[in-house]
């Protein structure tokens, strides 16, 4: 029920959404759903130009030309981020939503992850820096780049894509878990900084290991990473993404949404309530 209603939500018509790391995995799933709902979408990717060409072709086949832009851009590069914002505004005249989805996973530290997760002393400093720079500094730079436009319009949505709490402290996870924990902390800080500006900041995550290329074996039909542990379908992100990008989420900020907990068979308000994690009175780290 809620998914069908969200795909027809009037406020998503012509809404401009910028998604980093949007050429595959969760990023493309969110982009495709937004296009179906009538939004205009810009996606970026730092590598693999063929992926950008592939999603451009998919977008044109889905909604026709003129509603989708794919750009090569590295979120750790300030000039790249400014260029993406400028190109978005030139193409569509506006930008309403930034989804910070680009990320590097534990496989940066060891390609055969998760079969052989690296210990602390086995993670190179270069791999650590790559993960932290992409997953924490990248969203910071990208969000700063879009802020002048959001402030000018007194409206904007920042959606930071995170991971499940157990994954943040899982052994052998290199810098990935810590980077997402840091991203969630800064999301709360940004929400406070932006209070009463019309700009909101929220966190969204699938709720468990998800069938994407971030996990080796994902997106090639391997539906499990270990015995009795199955990967979530990336489409668990669709309903909460559409809701967070729409006017239905006006005024909601500093919240954490878990994709797999949104029951799309229920009305929108019930789906949203089930997906929203309860707020803790105090931070819990250990």
pLDDT recorded at residue 145? 98
Report yes or no on 8 lying in a domain.
yes
pLDDT recorded at residue 225? 43
Q: What element of type H or E holds 19? A: strand 16-19
Q: Which domain holds residue 96?
A: 2-275
pLDDT recorded at residue 215? 56
Residue among 222, 100, 229, 110 nearest 156 (CA): 100
Report yes or no on 284 lying in a domain.
no
Record the tokens describing residue 1, joined without a space: 């029920």
pLDDT recorded at residue 102? 96
Report yes or no on 286 lying in a domain.
no
Report yes or no on 281 lying in a domain.
no
Q: Is 221 buried (19+), middle (13-18) or exposed (0-12) by CB count in 10 A?
A: exposed
Q: pTM of the entire structure?
A: 0.91
Q: Is the CB of residue 208 less than 8 Å from the CB of residue 20? A: no
Report yes or no on 107 lying in a domain.
yes
Please give the DSSP secondary-structure letter assigned to residue 135: I
Report yes or no on 282 lying in a domain.
no
pLDDT per residue as tens, the chain (286 positions): 799 999 999 999 999 999 999 999 999 999 999 999 999 999 999 887 888 999 999 999 999 999 999 999 999 999 999 999 999 999 999 999 999 999 998 888 877 777 778 888 888 999 999 999 999 999 999 999 999 999 999 999 999 999 988 888 888 888 999 999 999 999 999 999 999 999 999 999 999 776 766 555 444 334 444 434 568 888 999 999 999 999 999 999 999 999 999 999 999 999 999 999 987 665 565 5
Number of domains in the chain: 1
Beta-sheet pairing, 256-258 with 224-226: unpaired
Report yes or no on 16 lying in a domain.
yes
Q: Is the CB of residue 141 less than 8 Å from the CB of residue 75? A: yes
Report yes or no on 174 lying in a domain.
yes
What contacts 7, CB < 8 A, 6 or more positions away?
33, 36, 37, 242
Give 201-225 as a DSSP string.
EEEEE-SS-BSSTTSTTTTTT--EE
Q: Is the CB of residue 31 less than 8 Å from the CB of residue 19? A: yes
3-state DSSP call for residue 77? Answer: coil
Please give the DSSP secondary-structure letter assigned to residue 119: P
Q: CATH number, domain at 82?
A: 3.40.50.720
**In the structure, how many helices (H) and strands (E) does the chain have?**
10, 9
């Amino acid at each position: 029920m809620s998914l069908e209603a969200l795909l027809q939500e009037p406020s998503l018509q012509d809404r401009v959404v910028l998604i980093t790391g949007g050429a595959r995995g969760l990023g493309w799933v969110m982009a495709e759903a937004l296009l179906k709902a009538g939004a205009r979408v810009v996606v970026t990717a730092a590598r693999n130009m063929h992926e950008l060409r592939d999603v451009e072709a998919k977008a044109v086949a889905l909604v026709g030309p003129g509603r989708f832009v794919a750009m090569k851009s590295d979120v750790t590069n300030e000039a790249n981020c400014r260029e993406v914002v400028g190109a978005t505004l030139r193409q569509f005249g506006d930008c309403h939503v930034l989804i910070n989805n680009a990320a590097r996973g534990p496989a940066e530290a060891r390609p055969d992850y998760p079969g052989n997760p690296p210990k602390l002393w086995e993670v190179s400093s270069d791999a650590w820096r790559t993960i932290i720079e992409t997953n924490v500094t990248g969203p910071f730079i990208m969000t700063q780049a879009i802020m002048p436009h959001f402030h000018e319009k007194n409206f904007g949505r920042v959606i930071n894509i995170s991971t499940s709490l157990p994954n943040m402290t899982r052994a052998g996870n290199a810098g990935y878990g810590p980077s997402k924990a840091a991203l969630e902390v800064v999301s709360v800080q940004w929400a406070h900084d932006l209070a009463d500006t019309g700009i909101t900041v929220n966190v969204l995550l699938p709720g468990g290991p998800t069938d994407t290329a971030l996990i080796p074996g994902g997106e090639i039909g391997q539906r499990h990473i270990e015995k009795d542990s199955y990967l979530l379908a990336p489409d668990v992100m669709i309903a909460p993404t559409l809701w967070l990008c729409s006017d239905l989420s006006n005024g909601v900020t500093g919240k954490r949404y878990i994709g797999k907990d949104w029951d799309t068979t229920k009305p929108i308000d019930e789906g949203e309530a089930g997906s929203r994690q309860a707020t803790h009175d105090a931070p819990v780290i250990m």
